[in-house]
Copies of this chain bind each other. A is one copy, B any other.
Amino acid sequence: MQILCEGLDLADAVLKVSKAIAAKTTNPVLEGIKLVAEDDTLTLFATDLELSIEKKIRAQVKEEGSCVVPGKFFSEYVKKLTNDKIELTLEQNNGLKIKYLDSEGYIQCFAENEYPDINLTEFKDYFGISKNNLRELINKVIFSVAIDDSRPILRGCLIEVTKDVVKAVTSDGYRLSLTRKALTYSNMETSFIVPDKSLREISKLLDDSDEQVNVYVSSNFLMVDQGDIKIFTRLLEGEFLNYKQIIMASNKDTVITVNKAQLVDSLERASLLSKIGQNNLVKFDIKEDTMLLTSNSEIGNIREKINIVLEGKDLLIAFNARYFLEAFRVIDDEFVKINFQGPTNPCTITPVDGEKEEYLYLILPVRMIN
């Protein structure tokens, strides 16, 4: 193998595929990046067996061939070689020579026959969505994925695809996040569960644009195809929560409309004190046209008064303030509705314009001893 390419192209490609390099692995070859030179293209590929990323760049191929380079070192090295043309030559003892200007490096490669052959099955079904919508779909729910392994299926995000719409749902058992986005095309109605790490990387690799991207789905795999970069991920097997049943329960006894920014400021201040007590607990006292947020700890207390519009009954209820703050961070609206059903049932945060059904964040309260 011998090729000539632009340093900037190579650095960009290596940066992107290196997100799929296995961080902790008992199989060192998975720390590698596979390079394949063919026609006028250099293809870079990395996988941790769950997430795989493939990126193609233009190259002048003097001799076709392939090798597997140590990923972390190669990525740091080419990051510092962005100004020049780079020549890569595979030498006889499986060492890769990297030449630029008057200087050069030499890296020992992994044995290529040890590199796994990921069986990326044929994809038939796909849907089309704008890059911005796909990124938002992910970012608006990914924060509430479970962080422990007690229910492994909750480490994933449920994606439901219909003809026009895609929904994403996550839950860590204490709260549930749901958002929906329009599709530009779909030839299927299905649902599947994507591991959170894969979704985070997919979101980062989508540039800020309204261009369409195609998402292919098979029984075990999902592939996001952006042309010169393809991202593959295994899907999780199992049953997700029956989220429809959870959110179907009506909660209309107490409905408030509130300015989001104001509530965020007050919650942030109130939770400073509750962080000291390490419970993050903030009480909501809803009465007529005001909501009083209070928090306590041994060093003091904070009382924040907020104007609201109330429909329904007064209510005293307590929450982990962090759950509200994390949901509000991904809500763009100026005003939101919060819907309660007594002090022991979950509340939901929804758009003021209920017709939109654009998002729903459900949060369990903390029980109080009265």
The answer to the question of A151 belonging to the interface, with a C-beta cut-off of 8 Å to chain B, is: no
| A93 CA to B272 CA, complexed, in Å | 22
Q: Is the Cβ of B303 less than 8 Å from the Cβ of A272?
A: no
In the assembled complex, A76 has its CB within 8 A of some CB on chain B? yes
A325 at interface (Cβ–Cβ under 8 A)?
no
Query: Are B107 and A300 within 8 A (Cβ)?
Result: yes
A301 touches B (CB below 8 Å): yes
Q: Which of B102, B107, B272, B301 contacts A305 (CB 8 A)?
A: B102
Complex Cα–Cα for A231 and B102 (A):
52
Q: Does A276 contact B (CB under 8 A)?
A: yes
B299 x A105 contact (CB < 8 A): no
| Residue of B70, B103, B269, B303 touching A266 (CB-CB under 8 A) | B103
Q: In chain B, what residue has the closest Cβ to A81?
A: B269
A103 near B305: Cβ-Cβ < 8 Å: yes
The CA of A120 and the CA of B102, in the complex, are separated in Å by 61
CB of A326 closer than 8 Å to a CB of B = no
Given the interface pairs A73-B276, A276-B73, the reply to whether A301 lies near B269 with Cβ below 8 Å is no
- Contact of A183 with B by CB under 8 A: no
Number of A residues near B (Cβ < 8 Å) is: 30
The interface bits of chain A over 4-18 (1 if a CB of B lies within 8 angstroms of the residue's CB, else 0) are 000000000000000
The answer to whether A333 has its CB under 8 Å from any CB of chain B is no
Q: Are B95 and A300 in contact (CB under 8 A)?
A: yes
Indicate whether A244 reaches chain B with its CB closer than 8 angstroms.
no
Contact A108 B269 (CB under 8 A): no
Beta-carbon contact of B303 and A73 below 8 Å:
no
Please indicate the chain B residues that have their CB under 8 angstroms from the CB of A101 in the complex. Answer: 305
Residues A73 and B273 in contact, CB atoms below 8 Å apart:
yes
Q: A95-B300, A300-B95 are in contact. Are A105 and B73 (CB under 8 A)?
A: no
Q: Is A268 interfacial (CB 8 A cutoff)?
A: yes
Minimum CB–CB distance from A10 to chain B (whole Å) comes to: 14
Among residues 311 to 327 in chain A, which have CB atoms less than 8 Å away from a CB atom of chain B?
none
| B102 with A269: CB separation less than 8 A | no
Contact B73 A299 (CB under 8 A): yes
A266 surroundings in chain B (CB, below 8 A) = 103
| B102/A302 in contact, CB under 8 A | no
- Whether A80 touches B269, Cβ cut-off 8 Å, given contacts A103-B305, A305-B102, A305-B103, is yes
Q: How far is the CA of A162 from the CA of B73 in the complex (A)?
A: 50
- A265 and chain B: residue at smallest CB distance: B80
Q: Within the complex, which residue of B73, B104, B272, B303 is in contact with A103, where a contact is CB–CB below 8 Å?
A: B303
Contacting pair A300 B269 (CB below 8 A):
no
Question: A77 near B: Cβ within 8 Å?
Answer: yes
Q: Which residues of B contact A302 (CB under 8 A)?
A: 77, 103-106
A97 to B141, CA, bound (A): 39
Q: Which residues of B have CB within 8 Å of A269? A: 77, 80-81, 103, 105
* A284 CB, nearest partner CB in chain B, Å: 14
Q: How far is the CB of A59 from chain B (nearest CB, A)?
A: 21
CB distance from A202 to the nearest CB of B (A): 29
* B80-A268 in contact (CB<8A): yes
Q: Check A105 against B300 for contact (C-beta < 8 Å).
A: yes
* Additional 18 contacts, C-beta under 8 A, given A80-B268, A104-B303, A105-B303: A70-B299, A73-B276, A73-B300, A77-B269, A95-B300, A101-B305, A102-B305, A103-B266, A103-B302, A103-B304, A105-B269, A105-B273, A105-B300, A105-B302, A106-B302, A107-B299, A107-B300, A108-B300
The 3 A-B residue pairs with the shortest CB-CB distance, nearest first, are A107-B300, A102-B305, A105-B302
